[in-house]
Amino acid sequence: MPKSKQKSQKKKKINQKNRKTKKQKKQEVPTLTLKERLAQKRKAAQARQELINTLTPAIGGGLFIGFILFLAAGIKAAVPAVMGIIVMSLAYKYPRQALFAFIFYVPFGGTITYYIGNSPVLQLAKDAFYVPALIAVWQNCRKQKLPIIIPEGIKTPLYILLGLCIITLLFINGGQQFNPPPVGLFKQAPKEFPLGMGILGLKVFLGYVPLITCVYYLIRNKRDFLFISRLQIVLILVACVLGFIQYLLLLTGICEGTRNAEGAALFKASLEARCFFGGSLVYSPSQGMIRLPGTFVAPWQWAWFLISSTFFTFATGFSDPSIIWRIISLASMASVFINAVISGQRIALALVPVCFVMLLVLTGQIANLKKFIPIFGGLALLLGIAIVSNPTVVQERTDSFIARWNASPPYEFIVQQFEENWKSVDSPFGSGLGRATNSARAMGPTKLVETYYPKVLYEVGIFGLLGFIVLVTTLTIICFRQYRLVKNRNFRSYGAAMWVFILFISYNTYYYPLDVDPVAVYYWFAAGILLKLPTIDKMERLQQAQAEGETGKKVMG
């Protein structure tokens, strides 16, 4: 028989099999009865009615308050107020969707802020999703008698730290409010609101701790876990692509940057030099100076986004059950490496590869590198082409990093900051919450402290500093124990990467990533995911055992 006939017969058989399987699948899908269809229609109608009932008073109240603000402060104050009331009402009604919106908003908050309008209120826009959702989660936990603080092991250190912070707020910030220090002769008292500064400082310091609970209840099963881990990868990839486009726009001259600035302005990040995405930037190629903000407000926030993204892309790249998503994750990791080079941020250039190596060693994935050799080969080729085609860029970044290290080694800088703030702190309970927090500067003058633990020391004193160290140490130990309970290899690998991230950020004091986006969110977000993994693992093993038991019964029958 000719080969062509054999092939045609084989194709016919395959087509017939495919048709049969499709028919079987169609037959397996149960047809809904009339009662079930009517029940679905009733549910849809009820959901629409609930949405209308939520939106109607929200829009009415928002327009009323917006009109008052329009008369008092103009359109720039009115529009955010109206939008904020509507968003907060929806976030309270639909907390799951609000938390997903919050996660989505974080990497693009800087870009959205400056597209809508530069206002200090917009810097807190993401909390319009987070705070109402948190209130809704707290109420649901009380109704269902579920634990509100997760993990329960951090309850005692958290309460102690919160008590110390309240002492600082009442006695230090309160004293500054109602009994301000005397002002020198011919000097004007500074315009400030110390209690407001303290409340905002407390929100920045501990406000996102409850995100652990929110994320823990947000993830209900394996499907939710995979969705949220893959969503994070997509957000990182999109942000990195936008960061690369920003660099190309500056390189080609479409965006001017600071190339035509003069004097000291050549070396300072400027909002006027903004290039489509993000906020302030520096681009002075004549001076070899570049600091890109990516999609964030400031360049150093972009640097810490790239550093934290290394952990998320690594986790999904080595643990996702789908080969397609592993490839997407590793491609996202390559985009993180590229942006670490072109962004001009020395700390990103140094820590992104260091974190990658640290993850390989501490998670044990260095033993599985053989499986990923083809993928890593392709990514290495892309990075190699990028480096070879832009050798001056790589050389400039490397020289800048070396020069900065030689001028001010990080360990010396950290020690200096500790010594300075130990001497200048007002009391064992600190100098006041918010006194070294950048986002609180609208409430009064703040001190610039460029390292995190000296900043905590200055604000809440030695007792508050020790309390915070105990809190993060307890969380780190609990997270380690929890991820070690996971039996599933993929879940365990993801949990290990998240634990390394928590370990790294808990004891990092260089700059203050825990104070601002995105690390202030991602730290607690990662802890919530990790703590849920043992529960998901148990659910999956139980379902697998039940499935095996049912198949065994069928065979025996």
Whether the Cβ atoms of residue 85 and residue 62 lie closer than 8 Å to each other: yes
The pLDDT score that the predictor gives to residue 554 is 58
Length of the chain: 557
| Backbone φ, ψ for residue 367 (5° rounding) | -75, -20
Whether the Cβ atoms of residue 276 and residue 252 lie closer than 8 Å to each other: no
Q: Which two tokens stand for residue 194?
A: 């110390």
Q: Residue written as tokens 């200048």?
A: 424
CA distance 40 to 36: 6
Q: Identify the three-state secondary structure at position 109.
A: helix
Ranges of each domain in the chain: 40-92, 192-259+266-543
Exposed, middle or buried, 62 (CB in 10 Å: 0-12/13-18/19+)? buried
The pLDDT score that the predictor gives to residue 511 is 85
The pLDDT score that the predictor gives to residue 190 is 74
The pLDDT score that the predictor gives to residue 330 is 87
One digit per residue, the tens of pLDDT, for the chain of length 557 reads: 454 555 455 555 545 545 544 444 444 445 667 777 777 777 777 778 777 877 888 888 888 888 887 787 777 777 778 888 888 899 999 999 999 999 999 999 888 888 776 665 666 778 899 999 999 999 999 999 999 999 999 999 999 999 999 999 999 999 998 888 776 666 676 788 899 999 999 999 999 999 999 999 999 999 999 999 999 999 999 999 999 999 999 989 899 888 888 888 888 888 888 898 888 899 988 887 888 999 998 898 999 999 999 999 999 988 899 989 998 998 899 899 889 988 888 888 889 988 988 888 888 877 766 666 665 666 666 666 656 656 666 666 677 667 777 777 888 888 999 999 999 998 999 999 999 988 888 888 889 898 999 999 999 999 999 999 999 999 999 999 999 999 998 899 999 999 999 999 999 988 888 988 899 999 999 999 999 999 999 998 888 888 777 665 655 55
CA distance 49 to 43: 10
What would you measure as the largest C-alpha separation in the chain, in angstroms?
A: 111
Q: What is the 3-state secondary structure (H, E, C) of 347-367?
A: HHHHHHHHHHHHHHHHCCHHH
What count of Cα atoms within 13 Å lies in the side-chain half-sphere of residue 508?
21
The pLDDT score that the predictor gives to residue 122 is 66
What's the predicted TM-score (pTM) here?
0.87
CA distance 463 to 160: 10
CA distance 423 to 458: 9
The pLDDT score that the predictor gives to residue 33 is 75
Among positive and negative, which fits the CA dihedral 149, 150, 156, 158? Answer: negative
CA distance 106 to 99: 11
CA distance 520 to 429: 23
Among positive and negative, which fits the CA dihedral 407, 412, 415, 419? Answer: negative
Whether the Cβ atoms of residue 143 and residue 149 lie closer than 8 Å to each other: no
Q: Which two tokens stand for residue 252?
A: 């080609």
The pLDDT score that the predictor gives to residue 142 is 93
CA distance 130 to 118: 21
> What is the DSSP track for 409-461?
-HHHHHHHHHHHHHHH--STT-S-TTTT-GGGGGGS------BHHHHHHHHHH
Beta strands in 287-363 (DSSP E): 289-291
The pLDDT score that the predictor gives to residue 15 is 53
Whether the Cβ atoms of residue 393 and residue 344 lie closer than 8 Å to each other: no
Q: For 342-375, how does the pLDDT look when each residue is reduced to its tens digit (9 = 90+)?
A: 888 888 888 998 898 888 888 887 776 666 666 5
Whether the Cβ atoms of residue 434 and residue 172 lie closer than 8 Å to each other: no
Residue 21, number of CB atoms within 10 A of its CB: 10
| Backbone φ, ψ for residue 180 (5° rounding) | -65, 150
Q: Which two tokens stand for residue 455?
A: 């900043």
Sequence-distant (≥ 6) Cβ neighbours of residue 41 within 8 angstroms? none
Q: Which two tokens stand for residue 330?
A: 């590793």
The pLDDT score that the predictor gives to residue 109 is 86
The pLDDT score that the predictor gives to residue 28 is 45
The pLDDT score that the predictor gives to residue 439 is 82
CA distance 116 to 129: 17
Closest listed residue to residue 348, CA positions, set 494, 231, 228, 519: 519
What count of Cα atoms within 13 Å lies in the side-chain half-sphere of residue 136?
21
Closest listed residue to residue 243, CA positions, set 351, 338, 313: 338
Cis peptide before 182 (omega within 30 of 0): no
The pLDDT score that the predictor gives to residue 1 is 46
Beta strands in 191-320 (DSSP E): 282-284, 289-291
Residue 394, number of CB atoms within 10 A of its CB: 15
| Backbone φ, ψ for residue 289 (5° rounding) | -110, 120
